[in-house]
Amino acid sequence: MLSILATIGVAVAGAAVAILPMTASNAAEACTTAYSGSAVYTSGQRASHSGRNWTAKWWTQGETPSTAGTGVWADNGACGGGTTNPPATCNHPNWVAGQFYPAGSIVRYTNGQYYRATNENPGYDPVISTWYWSPYTCTGGGTTNPPTNPGSFPVTEAQFNQMFPNRIAFYSYAGLIDAVKKYPAFTTTGSDTVKKQEAAAFLANINHESGGLVYVEEINQANWPLYCDRSQPYGCPAGQSAYHGRGPIQLSWNFNYKAAGDALGIDLLNNPDRVKNESSIAYQTAVWYWMTQRGPGTMTPHDAIVNGRGFGETIRSINGSLECNGGNPAQVQSRVDAYHRFTGILGVSPGGNLYC
C-alpha cells in the first residue's frame, strides 16, 4: 500500500431554573497555540483555530484546520482562553552542507527560508526530508515564504483522470496534491521538460504497482507473513502479517514502514493500516520512497530523472532486482508503456534510457 455538554440543574416544580457553574470536568479546554499557515504540523501536533482545538493526523502545512478538505485535521472541540506564542525572531546562521547539526538547530537555507533540525544530521539538505528538517517560522529578518505551491505539480486533475480512468475513489487527486507538498523538490527540479518527465515517471511506476490505482493492498495474501524482518530491534509490533504491500507503491517490510513513518512524522510501524485507510498517507509513502530510497539501484528515482539517467533507472531503484537485466522484461515493458502514455498526455518527450 479517523461535544461538549453544558450541565444544567432544574429545581423542583414551581422553583426557578438555575444554571450550575461550569466545573473543571465540563469547562471548555484551553486553546492551544494558534494555527499558523506557514508552520509544519506532524501527526499528533495541535493548534487552535476559530475557537476550537485541532489535532493533525499527518504532516500538513498551509491547510487551515477544518473538517473539510483532505481531512488532515481532527476537531477536538471548542476551546477558550489559553495563550498564543508569537513567532520567534530570525537571527540564525546560513545552512552549510556537510556541517553537523544537532536536533533543534535552526538555519537559513539558500531559498531564504528557515528550517529547524527535527533530528540530528550531518548537514543534509533541508528540503530533502521532513525527518531531518522542518520549515521554521520566524520574524525580524529573512523571508517566511511557504514552500513550493502545490499548484506547481505539472499534472492537472483532468490529466490525472485521463491517466487513471479506472482508479478507485481512495486514490484521489486531492490526496496526491496533499502528499507532494511534503517534498518541495518533487517535480519542481530542473526544466519544465524534466519536471513533467519526473511526474510521468512517478505516476507510471505507481500505475504499475497498484494496477492503475485500483489496488490498495497486495493481492496475494499468502505473501503477507513474509515481510516481517525479526532481526530488526523493533520487531513487528503490529503482527507477523502486518507489513505487506500497501498504497500506490506497495510499501512492504517492517523496516520500510518504520523508516517511512519516521520521515513523515507518522507511526506506521505500529499502525501500518493508515497506509490503506488514509489517501494522503498512502501517497506520502510513495513520494517518500521516490525521493529518499535507492532500493536495489544506485540512486533515488528522483535523482535518476533530474540527473538524466532516464526512466529505466527508476525501475531499477523500485524493483530492479526482480525485473531488470532480463529478470522480467514483460513487467519492465508494462512500466515503459505507461510512461510513454503519460508523457504523451503531458506533451513531453520521454527521453532516453527507458529500459533497465
Catalytic residues: 209
Task: Give 18's strand partners.
Answer: 9
How many Cβ atoms from other residues are within 10 Å of residue 97's Cβ? 9
Q: In a 10 Å sphere around its CB, with 0-12 CB exposed, 13-18 middle and 19+ buried, how is residue 76 labelled?
A: middle
Q: Which residue has the cell 540530528?
A: 120
Longest Cα pair distance anywhere in the chain, in angstroms?
Answer: 91
- Closest by CA position to 89, among listed 126, 33, 136: 136
Strands of the sheet with 133-136, listed across from one edge:
106-108, 114-117, 133-136
Q: Are 171 and 215 in contact (CB under 8 A)?
A: no
How many Cβ atoms from other residues are within 10 Å of residue 7's Cβ? 11
Element (H, E) at 283: helix 279-292
What residues have CB less than 8 Å from 3, skipping those under 6 apart?
Answer: 77
- Report residue 220 as a C-alpha cell: 496475494
Q: What is the CA radius of gyration of the chain?
A: 23
Query: What is the C-alpha separation between 283 and 287, in angstroms, rounded?
Result: 6
What residues have CB less than 8 Å from 281, skipping those under 6 apart?
Answer: 58, 179, 247, 264, 266, 268, 274, 275
Query: What is the C-alpha separation between 98 and 101, in angstroms, rounded?
Result: 9
- Report residue 128 as a C-alpha cell: 530533502
- Closest by CA position to 70, among listed 187, 201, 165, 174: 174
